[in-house]
């Protein structure tokens, strides 16, 4: 193991700890299992079955080691946790996820069966997830080769470990229980005792798939016999996903989450340092006059010795001696009894002894400690007499504060003891009826004017007793209890007393929500809401619990769900470091959102979605969940589920409101009010679809249809239609509408469509084409004249459509948009790298590439002139080695311009070729059109001096297109341009001819050179060019030398 470094613990079993580890000298992380040696048979079985298996759905075994105390197993690290954690986190998985996971499981299990291995114990805990989500079989402790006896193998390994064959029969008997897996996933024949087979593995796999989809296994019971009966005779119902809870089920689950264990923590009343610090109890062994038994010895004293011990104690307490020494001895004895009474078993034994009757009239503290630590109360124990006596003593000496401080803790512990015992037995006992005077005394101790310690003790008694469901708790439910506790909470300056008071109110509200209702009605809702801003975490937790209880029973419901400050305050509590507070805040918000849908918008605006995403990451599976995280996960899961179910309703309300006013210029007052209520809810959709938590759950086919209806029919088309007629329409609206349509169109036209959806795609294309043709194109004259970036998005839309649908190119021509396109070039040519110029050049590229377009229209609008100017400026930017800004943009623009140039030259060449062929054949074809086109395109020869420097470009595509353009140009015009073979260009050719290794490329370059030095092009009229001898000499030198 010295070859590995151990990191944090990532898992733990009864006798196994799993660590994340790394092999020294590498970055290969692994999982390292540290197991007690008593697990040697299981680990040996795992190793022998998997040491040669390499499969994507099986955890890979690397190596294993043995140290003096442990066995160490090094296997593949799976960072996604177990499937059991995923199911516990999500409760159920979507059908498509179950299908993907099922493929992994079947693939892995099929591979094992092909190797003759039976897994034998398939369960969610033995399936691990790799980072990308691949499932892998893990833990082969109970797997085996088909047909073998696993018990014999375990016994053999254990016997070898033991060093002999002695006790082999005993070993085999012990092994029988060790080879049994989980009964929940076992096939019926396995339960009957038949051996495992491939069919039993498939049964277990089916149970696992069922649990993934429904969140629970098909057969489950806490009772062994009942579980066996279900496996044998019960047909499980078809799995039902819990994705859509009924309102009743949702509220039932929410009520179960209102009170948690942290809300009902019990702390002692007596000797509680937060109420009153008591001096430590000490006694002197020398003057005790009886054996000083320790707590441990007292627990195990035999009956006779115990009776002797009690007799000695009672005799000292009953002693009539009045001397100072005797009194000191009695006090010392009571101190000893206080010490030993802090042990549960000793306290229980003393409480049921005759000693109680002698103590109750003499000292309260011992009785209080006995009551606090005892675990059981017999009906014949005179506890009610003690409660009555203490009550009378307090009532008769009520102004004696010191006496109350001594007696109240004992009284409280006795009442709480009776309450807990009655709750356990679930049947009220008349012998444990607490006198009404006790409740009266305690209520008096809560009132204003009492000392802080007395208030605290009384509040602590109510807090503890009201944790139970008993008749004793019901005795505190009065009309004044809520306001009295609230007064203590608000006016006390001691935090511990404030926490006890609000905790007691929280527990009383659990029995009777009217207690908190009385508080709100007396002090006002705003005052109560302001208490949520307390800096004490416990106070915030109890206040949230109180509000949740109120909302669950409908008290003040309408006031709370309409209070925006209340919602905002609750959302601010989501910043709390306490998981319990955040969980309860989510639960309160869920109650509000259920009853007031409009608050969802306010919550989203207050960053609720951000808080949900943050806590969703904290509760993801893969780590052992603590109870706080588990509670947070449950509350958060219910809130997410409700919001997901709420979104279709929001869209439905908006669609209904828009449908009601469709086609009407002046909606009615009711319709206008409905629109004002519904339309502001649209930002909710934005918040949810941009969330990583909500997007996978809300973006469904139904959602896309509804949202598309809202977007296109009810908003996008009207805005675009009003572009010209309503110039006052906000530019921001118009820009957003056009941008949305442009980017959506780009996505749609670039989407790959399968054969089964081609027909639907054709319909979609025709609808989109009709929308743009009928609504948008008539507005383009005004759209293209708008300030940037409106023209850029308008042109981007045309680019997407002309790329996707050739018919749209003819539509552009018929709509007389070509002159407008060139006007845009004139207006934006100063910013050639801007978005508008990029879009217009891309559009020109699509138009030139279209074979059905009438190219004369482009030439008539000055296509040659504009291309020359754009190409010159772009090529200059690309060739400028000092200018490194916007290199990528300029290069992309240059490539588009090269495509345009190549398309123009190809078109010209084809026209010239047809004219030459007609002239040679004597058919008398019209050559004038070709001559005019050649003359019109002649300025393109000025680009030769720019094309040649582009040939050495590192991008092979630029070389390819540049060389093709240059080849056609010299074919058409020969050496028309006197600067085409300048010394710099000649050197470029020389360098290219030496650097290019492809013979085809070399031939193309030589062919270009040959035509450039020839005195005419392919076209006979004109084009003669006389060259200066030095230049001709230079070119010929390169030509012949290379």
DSSP states along 83-110: HHHHHHHHSS--HHHHHHHHHHHHHHHH
Q: Is it the case that residue 904 has pLDDT exceeding 80? A: yes
| Cβ neighbours of 251 (radius 10 Å) | 16
Quick one: tokens of 322?
């009045």
pTM above 0.85, yes or no: no
Q: Does 83 have pLDDT greater than 80?
A: yes
- Contact (CB, 8 A) for 554 and 593: no
**Overall average pLDDT of the 906-918 stretch:** 86
Between 924 and 1000, the higher pLDDT residue:
1000
Residue keyed to tokens 């482009």? 858
Place of tokens 């919001």: 643
Residue 721 near residue 776, CB atoms below 8 Å: no
Residue 122, both tokens: 């398939």
Q: Provide mean pLDDT across the span 436-446.
A: 91
Does residue 612 surpass a pLDDT of 90? yes
Contact 138, 127 (CB under 8 A): yes
Integer CA distances (angstroms), 242 to 92, 114, 236, 641, 1010, in order: 7, 36, 16, 10, 79
Which among 36, 90, 104, 121 is annotated as catalytic? 121
Average pLDDT over residues 954-970: 83
Picking from 23-27, 155-159, 236-240, which range would have the lowest pLDDT averaged per residue?
236-240
Query: Average pLDDT of 865-876?
Result: 88
Tell me the HSE value of 667 on the side-chain side, using a 13 A CA sphere. Answer: 15
Residues composing the chain: 1042
Distance CA 614, CA 484 (A): 39
pLDDT tens figures, 816-832: 888 888 888 888 888 88
Percentage of the chain exceeding pLDDT 90 = 21
**Cβ count within 10 A of residue 591:** 22
pLDDT at 1028: 36
pLDDT at 925 over 70: no
Is the CB of residue 178 less than 8 Å from the CB of residue 41? yes
Token output for 317: 């307490």
Confidence of residue 358 (pLDDT cuts 50, 70, 90): low
Taking residues 288-307, what's their average pLDDT? Answer: 77
pLDDT of residue 624 exceeding 50, the answer is: no
CA distance 679 to 221: 50
Please name which of 74, 70, 58, 76 lies closest in space to residue 122, comparing C-alpha atoms.
Answer: 58
| Residue position matching structure tokens 């011992």 | 366
Report the chain's mean pLDDT, rounded to a whole number. Answer: 80
Distance (Å, whole) CA 977 – CA 223: 99
- Band (247; pLDDT cuts 50, 70, 90): low
798 C-beta neighbours (distance < 10 Å), count: 27
Q: What are phi and psi of 71, to 5 degrees?
A: -105, 140
Determine the pLDDT at residue 264: 80
Residues in Cβ contact with 675 at an 8 Å cutoff, skipping those fewer than 6 apart = 657, 658, 661, 667
Distances from the Cα of 364 to the Cαs of 346, 389, 444, 462, in angstroms? 17, 10, 20, 19
| Average pLDDT rounded to a whole number, residues 182-200 | 89
pLDDT of residue 639: 92
Q: Please determine, for residue 748, whether its predicted confidence score (pLDDT) is greater than 90.
A: no
Count other Cβ atoms within 10 Å, centred on residue 139. Answer: 21
pLDDT of residue 359: 56
Measure the CA–CA gap between 260 and 262, rounded to whole angstroms.
5
Residue 272's nearest CA partner among 499, 429, 483 is 499
Measure CA of the first residue to CA of the last residue in the chain; give whole Å.
Answer: 68
Q: What is the pLDDT of residues 707-746, one digit of tens each?
A: 777 666 555 555 555 445 455 445 666 677 677 777 777 7
Buried b (16+ CB within 10 A) or exposed e, 182-208: bebbbbeebeeeeebbeebbebbbbbb
The predicted model gives 258-269 an average pLDDT of: 80
Mean pLDDT confidence for 426-443: 82
* Spatial distance between the Cα atoms of 809 and 853, rounded to a whole number of angstroms: 7
Range 46-54 average pLDDT: 92
Long-range contacts of 915-920 (CB under 8 A, 24+ apart): 916/1018, 916/1019
DSSP 8-state symbol, 662? T
Catalytic residue check, 36: no
Q: Which domains does the chain have, with CATH numbers?
A: 1-77 (3.30.200.20), 84-142+181-243 (1.10.510.10), 245-274+377-544 (1.25.10.10), 279-360+367-372 (no CATH), 646-697 (no CATH)
Enter the tokens of residue 378.
């017999």
Q: Which of 510, 520, 515 is nearest to 479 (CA)?
A: 515
Closest-CA residue to 651 (of 611, 690, 604, 684): 684
Alpha carbon distance 967, 960 (integer Å): 11
Cβ(129)–Cβ(83) below 8 Å: yes
- Residue with more model confidence, 1033 or 356: 356
Confidence of residue 838 (pLDDT cuts 50, 70, 90): confident
Instruction: Give the residue-averaged pLDDT of 675-680.
Output: 79
């Amino acid at each position: 193991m010295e070859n590995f470094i151990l990191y944090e613990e990532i898992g733990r079993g009864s006798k196994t700890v799993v660590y994340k580890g790394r092999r020294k000298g590498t970055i290969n992380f692994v999982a390292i299992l540290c197991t007690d040696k008593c697990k040697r048979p299981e680990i040996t079985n795992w190793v022998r079955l998997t040491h040669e298996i390499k499969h994507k759905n099986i955890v890979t075994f690397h190596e294993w080691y043995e140290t003096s105390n442990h066995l160490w197993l090094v296997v593949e690290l799976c960072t996604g946790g177990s499937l059991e954690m995923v199911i516990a986190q999500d409760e159920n998985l979507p059908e498509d996820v179950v299908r993907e996971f099922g493929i992994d499981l079947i693939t892995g299990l099929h591979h094992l069966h092909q190797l003759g291995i039976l897994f034998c114990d398939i369960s969610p805990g033995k399936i691990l997830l790799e980072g990308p989500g691949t499932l892998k079989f893990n833990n082969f402790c109970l797997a085996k080769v088909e047909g073998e006896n696993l018990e014999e193998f375990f016994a053999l390994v254990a016997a070898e470990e033991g060093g002999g064959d002695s006790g082999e029969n005993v070993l085999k008997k012990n092994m029988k229980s060790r080879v049994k897996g989980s009964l929940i996933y076992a096939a019926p024949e396995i339960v009957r005792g038949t051996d495992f087979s491939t069919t039993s593995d498939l049964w277990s796999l089916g149970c696992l798939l069922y649990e993934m989809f429904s969140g629970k296994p098909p057969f489950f019971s806490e009772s062994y016999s009942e579980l066996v009966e279900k496996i044998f005779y019960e047909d499980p119902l078809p799995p039902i996903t819990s994705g859509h809870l009924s309102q009743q089920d949702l509220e039932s689950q929410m009520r179960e989450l209102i009170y948690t264990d942290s809300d009902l923590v019990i702390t002692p009343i007596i000797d509680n340092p937060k109420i009153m610090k008591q001096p430590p109890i000490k006694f002197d062994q020398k003057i005790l006059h009886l054996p000083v038994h320790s707590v441990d010895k007292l627990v195990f004293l035999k009956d006779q010795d115990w009776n002797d011990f009690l007799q000695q104690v009672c005799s000292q307490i009953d002693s009539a001696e009045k001397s100072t020494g005797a009194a000191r001895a009695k006090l010392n004895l009571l101190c000893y009894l206080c010490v030993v009474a802090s042990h549960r078993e000793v306290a229980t034994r003393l409480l049921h002894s005759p000693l109680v009757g002698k103590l109750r009239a003499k000292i309260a503290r011992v009785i209080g400690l006995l009551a606090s630590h005892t675990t059981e109360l017999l009906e014949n124990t005179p506890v009610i007499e003690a409660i009555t006596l203490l009550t009378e003593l307090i009532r008769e000496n009520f102004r004696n504060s010191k006496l109350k401080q001594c007696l109240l803790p004992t009284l409280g512990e006795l009442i709480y003891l009776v309450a807990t015992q009655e709750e356990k037995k679930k049947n009220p006992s008349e012998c444990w009826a607490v006198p009404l005077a006790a409740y009266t005394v305690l209520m008096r101790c809560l009132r204003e004017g009492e000392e802080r310690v007395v208030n605290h003790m009384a509040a602590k008694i109510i807090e503890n007793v009201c944790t139970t469901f008993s008749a004793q708790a019901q005795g505190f439910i009065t009309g004044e209890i809520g306001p009295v506790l609230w007064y203590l909470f608000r006016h006390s300056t001691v935090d511990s007393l404030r926490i006890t008071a609000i905790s007691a109110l929280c527990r009383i509200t659990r029995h009777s929500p009217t207690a908190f209702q009385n508080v709100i009605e007396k002090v006002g809702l705003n005052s109560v809401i302001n208490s949520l801003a307390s800096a004490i975490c416990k106070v915030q937790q109890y206040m949230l619990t109180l509000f949740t209880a109120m909302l669950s029973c409908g008290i003040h419901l309408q006031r709370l769900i309409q209070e925006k400050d209340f919602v905002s305050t609750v959302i601010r509590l989501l910043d709390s470091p306490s998981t319990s507070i955040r969980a309860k805040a989510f639960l309160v918000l869920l109650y509000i959102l259920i009853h007031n849908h409009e608050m969802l918008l306010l919550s989203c605006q207050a960053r609720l979605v951000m808080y949900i995403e943050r806590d969703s990451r904290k509760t993801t599976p893969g780590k052992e969940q603590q109870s706080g995280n588990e509670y947070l996960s449950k509350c958060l899961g219910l809130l997410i589920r409700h919001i997901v179910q709420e979104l279709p309703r929001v869209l439905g309300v908006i669609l209904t409101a828009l449908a009601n006013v469709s086609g009407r210029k002046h909606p009615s007052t009711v319709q206008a009010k409905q629109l004002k209520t519904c339309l502001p809810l649209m930002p909710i959709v934005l918040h949810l679809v941009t969330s990583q938590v909500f997007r996978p759950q809300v973006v469904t086919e139904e959602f896309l249809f509804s949202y598309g209806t809202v977007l296109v029919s009810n908003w996008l088309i009207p805005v675009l239609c009003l572009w010209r007629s309503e110039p006052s329409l906000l530019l921001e609206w118009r820009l957003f509408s056009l941008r949305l349509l442009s980017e959506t169109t780009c996505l749609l036209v670039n989407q790959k469509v399968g054969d089964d959806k081609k027909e639907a795609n054709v319909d979609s294309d025709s609808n989109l084409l009709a929308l743009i043709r009928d609504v948008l194109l008539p507005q383009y004259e005004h759209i293209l004249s708008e300030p940037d970036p409106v023209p850029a998005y308008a042109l981007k839309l045309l680019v997407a459509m002309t790329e996707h649908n050739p018919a749209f190119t003819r539509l552009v021509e018929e709509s007389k948009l070509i002159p407008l396109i060139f006007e845009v070039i004139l207006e934006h040519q100063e910013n050639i790298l801007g978005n508008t110029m990029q879009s217009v050049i891309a559009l020109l590229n699509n138009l030139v590439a279209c074979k059905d377009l009438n190219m004369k229209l482009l030439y008539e609008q000055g296509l040659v002139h504009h291309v020359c100017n754009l190409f010159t400026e772009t090529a200059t930017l690309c060739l400028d080695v000092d200018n490194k800004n916007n290199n990528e943009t300029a290069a992309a623009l240059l490539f588009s311009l090269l495509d345009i140039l190549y398309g123009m030259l190809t078109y010209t060449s084809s026209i010239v070729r047809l004219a030459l062929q007609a002239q040679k054949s004597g058919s008398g074809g019209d050559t004038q059109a070709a001559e005019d086109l050649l003359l019109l395109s002649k300025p393109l020869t000025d680009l030769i001096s720019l094309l040649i420097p582009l040939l050495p470009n590192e991008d092979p595509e630029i070389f390819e297109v540049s060389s093709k353009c240059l080849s056609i140009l010299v074919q058409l015009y020969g050496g028309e341009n006197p600067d085409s073979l300048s010394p710099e260009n000649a050197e470029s050719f020389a360098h290219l001819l030496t650097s290019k290794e492809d013979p085809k490329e070399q031939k193309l370059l030589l062919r270009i050179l040959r035509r450039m030095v020839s005195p005419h092009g392919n076209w006979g009229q004109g084009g003669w060019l006389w060259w200066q001898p030095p230049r001709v000499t230079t070119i010929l030198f390169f030509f012949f030398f290379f």
